[in-house]
Amino acid sequence: MKYDLNAAEGGKIPFAVKTDSGVVFVKEPLDFEQQNVYHLLLTVTDGKHNTTTNVYLYVEDVNDNPPQFDSPIYSATIEEEDKKVPKRLFTVKATDADKDETSDRIVYRLEGQGVGDFFTVDPVFGHIEVIKPLDRDPPNGVPVWKFIVQAVDDDGNGLIGYADVEVNLKDINDNNPIFPREMYGNVDENREPGSEGIYVMTAAATDYDDPATLNAQLEYSISVNKEIDGFPVFRIDKSNGKVFAMRRLDREKLSERQFTIEVRAMDRGIPPREGAGNVTIRVLDVNDNEPYFEKSVYDAYAPETLKPGEAVISVLALDKDNEARQR
């Protein structure tokens, strides 16, 4: 006898039959997700007579497909330092092409930055929540949190699907501008300032809020200045913190050897925040004074018995300039 196998409705089939024994075998890979039932016709002949029977082959599903999320990346934007927590960010959803009752049960998990401490996921429904207030600003804050959500089939013991998660933090104005603890500048005496003044130094403040927002855009001013003859000695460029001397200074005057002013920086956030710092400005000496004697006339008497090299008189000359310049 001789056996033959065909599809009941025609077309190609992934099975074949051994013509001499009637054993049906698989000749091509099977895919439950594409077709799980085959209706075949098995025919046998003895050379004169033939008989046909119906054969139904059922493909059993195995867990060969990891879950697939409906989006490769999930993102949300929330305000930093939001104390209304826990707060749901979004719900992720994954599906499994496998149809087995066990393999189709998906468990959600999180992996990566901030997981457990700041973010959680409902293992059954996929709700991702933030559970603590988040800080975006330096030195310890993070402007964008990135982690991974997993979908694990077979009730959490099978294949894993992945998607990326990004949580962006919107800046709030929660940082004061900060000046360095010590700020110093120098200016030569006797220089004519002109209309712009003489550049002394830059008093730059740092604001850790988002530099792309008004929360970190600073405007500078001098809150405590010095005056000479009723006019301010220094000015500051409000846009960059550059300090200029606006008066001709004389270091030989004790009141003009060193100045301390207070500068202030205010951001443009709503409401604005500000910070202040002290600047010490030293007036540098130039050699602009002639030496002079203590007396205009000195009288000295030399006994005729003095030997060569012995002192006759001691005189003292002074210079109003810096001691280092005195001769």
Q: What is the pLDDT of residues 166-192, one digit of tens each?
A: 999 999 999 999 999 999 999 999 999
Nearest-CA neighbor of 159 among 105, 219, 85, 81? 105
Say if residue 327's pLDDT is above 50.
no
Going along the chain from its start, the domains and CATH numbers come out as 2-58 (2.60.40.60), 68-170 (2.60.40.60), 183-284 (2.60.40.60)
Can you tell me the distance from the alpha carbon of 299 to that of 8, in angstroms, rounded to the nearest whole number?
143
Task: Give the range among 56-65, 204-213, 253-262 with minimum mean pLDDT.
Answer: 56-65
> Could you tell me what percent of the chain has a pLDDT over 70?
95
For residues 150 and 111, the answer to whether their CB atoms sit within 8 Å is yes
Q: What is the pLDDT of residues 228-248, one digit of tens each?
A: 999 999 999 999 999 999 999
pLDDT at 10: 85
Say if residue 301's pLDDT is above 90.
no
Residue indicated by tokens 């001013």: 221
pLDDT band with cut points at 50, 70 and 90 for residue 100: low
The residue type found at 214 is L
pLDDT at 323: 55
192 token code pair: 């004519």
Can you tell me the distance from the alpha carbon of 247 to that of 189, in angstroms, rounded to the nearest whole number?
10
pLDDT at 43: 92
Mean pLDDT score, 193-202:
96
pLDDT band with cut points at 50, 70 and 90 for residue 250: very high
Phi, then psi, of 154 in degrees rounded to 5: 55, 40
Q: Classify residue 151 as exposed, middle or buried by CB count within 10 Å of its CB (0-12, 13-18, 19+).
A: buried
Mean pLDDT score, 141-149:
97
